[in-house]
Structure formats: structure tokens, C-alpha cells
Amino acid sequence: MSFILDAFVTLLWLAPDTNSAGEAIADATLKALKVSQALVPSLWSLEVGNVIAKLEAKNIVTEADSQRFIALLGQLDIVTDAMTASRALGDTLNLARRYKLSVYDAAYLELALRTGRPMATLDADLTEAANLAGIPIFGQTAKPIQAI
């Protein structure tokens, strides 16, 4: 099964949260990626890189931890969508308006709607928007948690 992967779930593989439900979904998502593919909007790598830099600056993770994490990402079947930017000021912006999301979060929703794939996210606002839009959420048995 192929799915849309958000940066928040991804980053739990580097810096686990104390929320056991979030960790369980992140672990299940990582296991699913061993046999399936994830699709991400082109902004995903910028979001992941930004949080890595912040985590290092706060001494939550070391550069060595980050390098191991980046190596792990390189081993997974994560495909970057080439159409994210071209849809940003159209469909994505309209979804942000409709569901009161950041345009960044709306990019994940737009990709899920365009490709018909479920979404792996723990972001509460994005989960609510996906539910309203009819997008299935990977492992949705736990209550969504707030983003970092």
C-alpha cells in the first residue's frame, strides 16, 4: 500500500515523542515503508531539514544522530512529488483556505486528494481536514497530537 507521509511522522523516527500513540503510529509507518512506498510533497525535505537543524541546535539530537537518520531515509522508498510547486497557488491554497490549514499542510492534503492515497500524519488539524475531505489516515485509532 502506498501512502502520503508527512514530516511530523517522519521526524518521530529521529526524536521520539513521549506520546505512546504517536510513537506506535510512527513505528507502524516505518514498518509499512519496508514493503511499500511513500509519496511526499517537494517541501517535505525542507521541513525535515529545518526540524533536524532545530533539534541539533537545542542539543536534542547530535549531528551523528541526524546523519544516521538521513541515511535511514535514503534507504526507504520515499518519492518526492514533482507537481507540488505548480499547484501551490491554486488547489493547495484553496484547500488551505477551505480547511484553515497552513499552505504547507495543505500540500500534503492536496497530494493525497490528487493521488487517492491515504495519509500518514499525526497533526491534529491535518487529520481533521483529511477526515472532512474523505482521505483515510494510516493507523487512525489514536487521537492526533499537536505538531512540534
**CB-based burial of residue 90 (10 Å sphere; 0-12 exposed, 13-18 middle, 19+ buried)?**
exposed
pLDDT for the residue numbered 19: 63
Among residues 116, 128, 31, 100, the alpha carbon closest in space to that of 72 is found at 31
3-133 folds as: Rossmann fold (3.40.50)
| Phi/psi of residue 5, nearest 5 degrees | -110, 125
Round the average pLDDT of the chain to a whole number and report it: 90
Residue 144 DSSP one-character state: P
C-alpha to C-alpha distance for 9 and 3, rounded to whole angstroms:
12
Regions of the chain where pLDDT drops below 50: 141-148
Q: What pLDDT score was predicted for residue 142?
A: 40
pLDDT of residue 130: 96
User: Which residues have a Cβ under 8 Å from the Cβ of 54 and sit 6 or more positions away?
Assistant: none
